[in-house]
Structure 1
Amino acid sequence: MSPSLNKKLSAWPYPRLERFPGRLERFRYRTYNFLENRLWPVRPIYFLALVALITGYGFPQDLLKSFFISYSLVFLLRHILKYTYFSYKGYLKESPKKPSYATIVWGTVKKILSHVAPPQLSSCDRLLSNLPLPRLEDTVTRYTDSMKFVISEEEHNNLIATSTQFLSHEGRTLQRFAWLLHLITDNYVTWFWEKYIYYAGRYPLPIISSTCQCVLYGEDDLTQVYQVARLLYIETLANLSVDRQDYLAVGDGLMSTRHYRNIYNGSRVPGAEIDNFQWNPPSRHALVVHKGTWYKVDTCDEDGRLYSVNELAKIVSELTTRQDKSTGFLCKISSLTADRRTEWSKNRRKFFLNNAHNKKLLEVIETSQYVISMDTAKWGVETSDKMSVYMKDMLAGDGTNRWFDKTMNYAICANGRGGATGEHSPADGAEMDHVCENFLNLDKQILKSPSKEEQLEIAKLDEPSNYLKLAEKLEFEVEEGLEEEVERCYEAHTKAVADLHVHSIIFLDFGKGRLKKCGISPDGFVQMAIQLAYFEDQGKFTQTYETGSIRFYANSRTETVRPVTSASCKLVCAMLDETSSKQTRRQLLKEACEVHVNNCKEVMLGNGFDRHLFVLCVIAKGLGYNSPFLDFFSSQKWLLSTSNIPNMTNSIAEDTSVNNIMLGGSFGAVAQDGYGICYRFGGNHAILVHITSYHSSELTDSERIGNRLKSAFHRLAGLFDD
């Protein structure tokens, strides 16, 4: 390992704090960050020095005028950066080996800013460009072109006709309203997207809205108790670092970090018609679930001193030995959060808000930093079947060990292997991936691990301690009707989990290293393999979703990349045509990957069309417009939903050993008769794929398409064998 790489892997992504901030300290650094986020790249101290300088030499009698002149200069500098440096995206369309002069200048400015004024987590959020509003004609044309290969010729002709009518009638009016939204907001999509895609949904959160993350391929060297203690310690530091904005951002401030604050402390709150997200300041406690019993665990003492890993191990070990475990239906009380949202809203009010004692416990839960479940299972990754069970458990839990309203529910099994269940509405997968990568870097590469014998000895609490606050059990009071509702929710969740079909693939034959040598995009390669596997599985092409990144724009979430193109369809047809030559197939694969890469870049440049059409649908519904074109758009099912988990930090040395590859994550299939395919590259030597579908569907089978996908990997890569 090179010295530079070793130095990077050993660097902490945030400070090693020793104390939980008091009110005065938090007020101090939040005030500083308030100024920092409105003055960067000028530091607040230098701004005050400039005000003092102008006051002393220019306007000694008028401090307000000096302040105005100073801020005017900073305001001008920031706007120059906003509309030049932060707006420039030309490098996305250029080869790194042959950059234009504009890109060279931009890169030089980037190096200077990173060296002179390295941004904090949110220093640049207010300088990011607003998400552009595409021309209506471009959006409609791109959409109709994308549907050509997934619907019949007759349906496509009808779509063209309704699109023409849309452009000449209601589309113009709707676009004007979208333009007004674009004019007065930094992102004309996000508010609508969060409200109507997430918070207005009445479906249960697990499987449908939840996502999951898993850890490394290799065996864990920590006991369950010690791993939970280390997780409590690391994630408390991460939580405080996000609040202080000391969390190391990716992209040197060029990407939106607006939603990091939602990862810790907050909770989704169910409503009768629409949910909302409740953000809370950093909490001193987390929740630990052991054998269906919920405990409040403080991560610092009464004076604010953060507990060490060893001290937390004693606290966690003590709660596992207690005889106060919940019994009966109270073990399953968290299954209430797995219910449909309107029903959970009613039960939340009836059993918690209307009961003074339970209301206090609910506040403890919803304001906690995060949840950690100490599961009794022993997860393994030795076979596809074991890995699939592990991934399924991470995605849905068992109805007793997740509080699905919380953004992050971590879980550690009996043999120390862990993972996380995420709630998708307040943050996207990229932010959660960032958090998990930082944790793994610290847990597996930076912090030293005692032997398991030493861990057991460290965790012993021989006698009551005056300096440790032991875990506090959440003792729920029983209300009339609570048992029936808990059992109903638990049974419904159990059925949903049983219906979920997860098939995991740990493909170790090759990774992105081989694909790069072939001169093709790794992501494009996997997407083409998915298209080939799906066509062989279903005998048709279908509307396909891939998560696209638009994080270069302010307050952004995601956009849709549509992998089905003329080039991808030609490739699939050639692969199924026995008369097609290897050379022809290879050329078609290259062309399909190039088209896919270009489409991804267009999305990154803000030229996607799905979110634009979504906003027009919302506006049309709000104004009472009847639009056949938009009705068709909104009625189409995503039978194939895919996502490539990005490498956010490059901090995990995955190429040093197969044991260091990250296992990736998963999500539930969007459509009842569809597939959800989540994948990532494990360094240069592995591809991790997790496929979901539903047993109740007669059309899909996760294992079947998984086998087809592995075959497609080999067949497509084999085109370059000579």
Structure 2
Amino acid sequence: MAEAHQAVVFAFNITDQGIQFEFDKDALHQVWRSGVRAYKKRYAGFKNRLRNGIYPAKPGSLLTTMLVMILATMFGNDLSLGYVKLLNPVVVKYLGVVPPHDTYVSCALIACGLWLSAILLYKQLIGCLLAYHGWMYEAHGRSISWRTKVWSVLVKLLVSCKRAGLYSFQGALPRLPVPNVDDTIRRYLVSMEPLLSDDQMAEMRQLADEFKSKGTAKKLQFYLRLKSWWAPNYVSDWWEEFVYLYSRDPIMVNSNYYGIDAIFVRPTRVQAARAANVSWSMLQYWRKLSREEVKPLSINDTVPLCSWQYERLFATTRIPGDERDRIMHLNDAKHIAVYHAGRYFKVYFYYAGRWLEPCELEQQFQSILNDKSAPSAGEADLAALTAGERRIWARARRDFFSRGANRTSLDAIERAAFVLALDEESADYDPEDDSQLDRFAKSLLHGNGCNRWFDKTFTLVVFANGRIGFNAEHSWADAPVLSQLWEETVITSDIVPGVGYNSDGHCKGSPKGTVPNPIRLQWDLSASCRDVISSQLRVATNLLNDVDLHLVVHTQFGKGAMKTCRMSPDAFVQLALQLAYFRDSGGQFCLTYEASMTRLFREGRTETVRSCTNQSCEFVRAMESGNASKAELIRLVRAAADKHQTMYRDAMTGKGVDRHLFTLYVVSKYCKIQSPFLEKALHCQWKLSTSQTPHGQTGKLDLRNSPDSISAGGGFGPVSEDGYGVSYIIAGEDTIFFHISSRVSCDLTNSRRFGDQICRALQDLKNLF
């Protein structure tokens, strides 16, 4: 067979003239290049680990320290305070070094010891500084404690994120502390006061007292503290495992989320060119991540955040299992998987020892768009397997994709850097027709149920008119990681006019060498396999048809006006959401989830801010009564905002409620202990689930010169059957985007109606000031 013949790199034949050797020089050359690249990556990894281990020192500083010590000794100045003489006999005896060289070796060893001790001392000091969070509770411009002043000076002197690598501070970050059980229970009970009746609160307090008095809390807390002593983070591994990987529900809509284009600008209408430039920018970002050239995010350019989640951004896939999924991550990949018109392709971005240029990627993508071949039987709906029930997908993967062409093609998708979907439909934003933006977002959240590979860390979606977005899997990391990628590769590089595109909309430049053709993936999907795909597609279709998604582009005012009210923009929006929900639900409050990050700690992910508080409810009731004076309303709204800010800081600094209760519950299951309090506390419905999309993380957005270059953020599906999912991004001084989702099947909710209530509540809040 021709394929088998081409696969032979080395062969020999025995003839009457002797042994004849045959070599495939091109194949051997590629093998050699692949090996060289692998060793280069290993060397780079070793160098980065060494640099991170000795940060902020450099390897050259060790040599300098040794030379100073040796030269000082040669000129009669013993900087070792006599330890060189004590060490000399040991060097002579065990290393066999003869005088006077023993003195030089002793100086070098002592210098090395001092150098390592200084590094360890520095890291310990940095760890102590980063473990202090009192600065977060002291408002700017007000009286600051002497402790925070001293801390601020030391941090500015010792901590510099500008020179650091991505993981330079990982070893110095503090561990997430386990809160006191009594404090957690007290905070939980206070958070439930505005939501439960007197009888229900009495019952909950009784369950909490029993949880503490019977010794259950003390026992579970002991095991949790034991875990916190050796695990990098006592929450994150269980959170990933039990919240995400053990879930058997479809991840489409229920778990995956989406991000959307910068809708006010359009760099090009050429689909292949936009796909090429964005893909190239993302791959270059991956290259910088691999080299650890991306600077760690920091607060106020001073306090570093954990960078652990970036590791699995590319070449990562969620693999289905019968009882539990797993995450497969590769350190390297040379291709991306491309979906178009029901067909899958393998496209190399690294070929013949070099990274391909955007114009060369555009050439490959355009050839896919020009290819009018029909998909094979079942291929067009194949991704529905990743959209439906996880157990069915796991069995199908084992039964139909474990060998042959199906195995090879599935590997090409799962081992790709990411998946690119070249859609046949267009998507856009029209300020005169907001339904277009709603359809844009729905296409990114779920598509048609079979044109996004939902298991991949992210699927980059490029529409026929050049608009873009992404769909992301949630288990491996949280949205801020994708937001930073989006900002780095799209907002600050792709949309700048005249940078990446010619006047005709195509990528700049010309091919520098041979460009490989896209490889069409082959499938042999049996009738039984196609039946499973069809059943999964029905599940996905029913799920996506039940999503009511609406986007609000609020341009009446934004961050600028909120700051003039002397309020945190996030607290401002959260109070508006409480007021809007109260009006929308006919005078009710609900348990509200707001995501907060815990990346001040090693391997930190998220914590919950319970935004519905006694103070926010008091303000909303007063606002709706119509009897309170403006001065009284302003007092109430400030009290509610201050409470919200305190809770947000508590969540960021490891004093939240929900992750502690969650881990106590996990320990109780391992110990086979039934806890009515934990069961009841953890099975309450979040009828209002909210999240703020971070903006301006990289510091590269120049909104003064390019005010339209703001991201529209992203969103997620509804968490509760009768509630709302609200994602918002305070994108500029005068713009806020709200992504509102709910269930079509629920008569109590309506995303457009709730969006109108949010806009009304925002205006009412602004009018107070």
With structure 1 as the length reference, what TM-score do the two structures score? 0.92
Shift of 1:351: 1.4
Partners of 2:35 and 2:241 in 1: how far apart?
34
CA distance in 1, matches of 2:131, 2:517: 52
Q: Output aligned runs, 1:365-384, within 5 Å.
A: 365-382=413-430, 383-384=433-434
2:237 paired residue number:
191
Shift of 1:308: 1.1
Look up the match of 1:435: 485
Structural mapping, 1:269-668, within 5 Å: 269-303=319-353, 305-353=354-402, 355-382=403-430, 383-439=433-489, 440-445=491-496, 448-451=499-502, 453=504, 455=506, 467-538=514-585, 539-647=587-695, 648-656=697-705, 659-668=708-717
Secondary structure of 1:329 counterpart? coil
Q: Distance in 2 between matches of 1:21 and 1:514?
A: 56
For residue 150 of structure 1, the aligned residue among 181, 184, 195 is 195
Task: Quote how far apart the aligned CAs of 1:160 are.
Answer: 0.5
Pairwise CA distance, 1:40: 1.4
Q: Structure 1's 655 and 679: CA in aligned 2 closer, same or farther, altered over 3 A?
A: farther
CA distance in 1, matches of 2:207, 2:70: 65
After superposing the two structures, state which structure 1 stretch, 93-102 or 503-512, moved more.
Answer: 93-102
Who is 2:140 aligned against?
96
Instruction: Give the residue type in structure 2 aligned to 1:275.
Output: D
Which position in structure 2 is the counterpart of 1:712?
761
Q: Which structure has the greater CA radius of gyration?
A: 2
- The one-letter amino acid paired with 1:294 is Y
Q: Distance in 1 between matches of 2:277 and 2:153?
A: 40
**Structure 2 residue matching 1:666: 3-state secondary structure:** strand
Q: In structure 2, what is the Cα distance between the partners aligned to 1:31 and 1:325?
A: 47
CA–CA distance in 2 between the matches of 1:486 and 1:698? 31
Taking the aligned partners of 1:208 and 1:52, their CA distance within structure 2 comes to 61
**Does structure 2 retain, via aligned residues, the 8 Å contact 1:199–1:276?**
yes
Q: Is the 8 A contact 2:347 2:518 kept in 1?
A: yes
2:326 and 2:675 mapped to 1: Cα distance? 29
Q: CA deviation at 1:24?
A: 2.3
Residue aligned with 2:261, SS: strand
- In 2, Cα distance between the equivalents of 1:369 and 1:705? 38
Q: Which residue of 2 aligns with 1:9?
A: none
CA distance in 2, matches of 1:282, 1:191: 24
Q: Following the alignment from structure 1 to structure 2, what is the Cα–Cα distance between the partners of residues 528 and 105?
A: 35
Q: Secondary structure at the match of 2:243?
A: helix
Q: Are the aligned partners of 1:136 and 1:175 in contact in 2 as well (CA < 8 Å)?
A: yes
Are 2:700 and 1:685 equivalent residues in the alignment?
no
Given that 2:126 and 2:158 are in contact with CA atoms closer than 8 Å, whether structure 1 keeps it comes out as no
Shift of 1:147: 0.5
Contact 1:243 1:282 in 2 (8 A): no
Q: Distance in 2 between matches of 1:87 and 1:314?
A: 51
Distance 1:456 1:652, change over 3 A: closer
Aligned with 2:203: secondary structure?
Answer: helix
1:219/1:417 contact within 8 Å kept: no
Match of 2:312 in 1: 262
Matches of 1:467 and 1:691, distance apart in 2: 47
Q: Which moved more, 1:555-564 or 1:39-48?
A: 39-48
> Counterpart of 2:273?
226
Q: Could you tell me whether the CA contact under 8 Å between 2:277 and 2:500 is conserved in 1? A: no
- Match for residue 204 of structure 1? 250
Residue aligning to 1:694:
743
1:4 counterpart residue number: none
Count of residues paired in the alignment: 695
- The Cα of 1:453 is off from its aligned counterpart by 2.3
Query: Retained in 2: the 8 A contact 1:512–1:685?
Result: yes
Does the 8 Å contact 1:51/1:70 carry over to 2?
A: no
Verify: 1:39 aligned to 2:54, yes or no: yes
Q: Secondary structure at the match of 2:443?
A: helix
CA–CA distance in structure 2, aligned partners of residues 248 and 379 of structure 1: 34
Change (3 A) 1:470 1:712: same
Contact 2:161 2:296 in 1 (8 A): no
Structure 2 distance, partners of 1:67, 1:314, is: 55
Deviation at 1:134, TM superposition (A): 0.7
- Quick one: higher RCO (CA 8 Å, sep 6+), 1 or 2? 1
CA shift, 1:103, in A, is 3.4
1:677-702 alpha-carbon deviations (Å, 9 max, x no partner): 00011211011001001111122111
Cα displacement string for residues 519-562 of structure 1 (whole angstroms, at most 9, x for unaligned residues): 11111111111111111112311111000121100110100001
Question: Any conservation in 2 of the 1:655–1:684 contact (CA below 8 Å)?
Answer: no
Q: Deviations over 1:306-333 (max 9, x none)?
A: 1111111111111211133415521111
User: 2:63, 2:294 → 1: CA distance?
Assistant: 25
Asked whether the 8 Å contact 1:535–1:541 carries over to 2, the reply is yes
Alpha-carbon separation, structure 1, partners of 2:337 and 2:217: 50
Q: Distance in 1 between matches of 2:411 and 2:422?
A: 22
Aligned partners of 2:703, 2:317: CA distance in 1, in Å?
Answer: 33
- What is the DSSP-based 3-state SS (H/G/I as helix, E as strand, rest coil) of the residue aligned with 1:486? helix
Q: Is the 8 A contact 2:378 2:525 kept in 1?
A: no
Shifted more, 147-156 versus 507-516: the winner is 147-156
Q: 1:117 to 1:32 in 2, by over 3 A?
A: farther
The secondary structure found in structure 2 opposite 1:121 is coil
The 5-angstrom pairing of residues 62-81 of structure 1 reads: 67-81=112-126
Residues 22, 458 of structure 1: CA spacing in aligned structure 2 closer, same or farther, 3 A cutoff?
closer
Give, in whole Å, the separation in 2 of the partners of 1:322 and 1:533.
50
Residue pair 1:20, 1:284 contacting (<8 A) in 2 also: no
Report the Cα distance in structure 2 between the residues aligned to 1:164 and 1:507, rounded to whole angstroms.
46
- When the two structures are superposed, what TM-score results if normalisation uses the length of structure 2? 0.87
Distance 1:90 1:290, change over 3 A: same
Q: 3-state SS of the aligned residue for 1:216?
A: coil
Give the distance between the partners of 1:153 and 1:694, measured in 2 at CA. Answer: 31
State the Cα distance separating 1:366 from its structure 2 match: 1.2
TM superposition shift of 1:47: 3.9
Q: Deviations over 1:245-286 (max 9, x none)?
A: 112321056101101011111111111111111110121111
C-alpha change, 1:397 and 1:603, in structure 2 (3 Å) is same
2:727, 2:740 within 8 Å by CA — same for their partners in 1?
yes
Between the aligned partners of 1:695 and 1:36, the Cα distance in structure 2 is 54
Q: Check whether the contact 2:265–2:495 (CA below 8 A) recurs between aligned residues.
A: no
Deviation, structure 1 residue 499: 0.7
- Whole-Å separation in 2 of the counterparts to 1:700 and 1:455: 44
- CA deviations on 1:370-400 (whole Å, 9 max, x unpaired) are 1111112221221321111111111112223
Paired residue secondary structure (2:496): helix
Displacement of 1:673 in angstroms is: 1.1
Assess if the C-alpha contact under 8 Å between 1:550 and 1:556 holds in 2.
yes
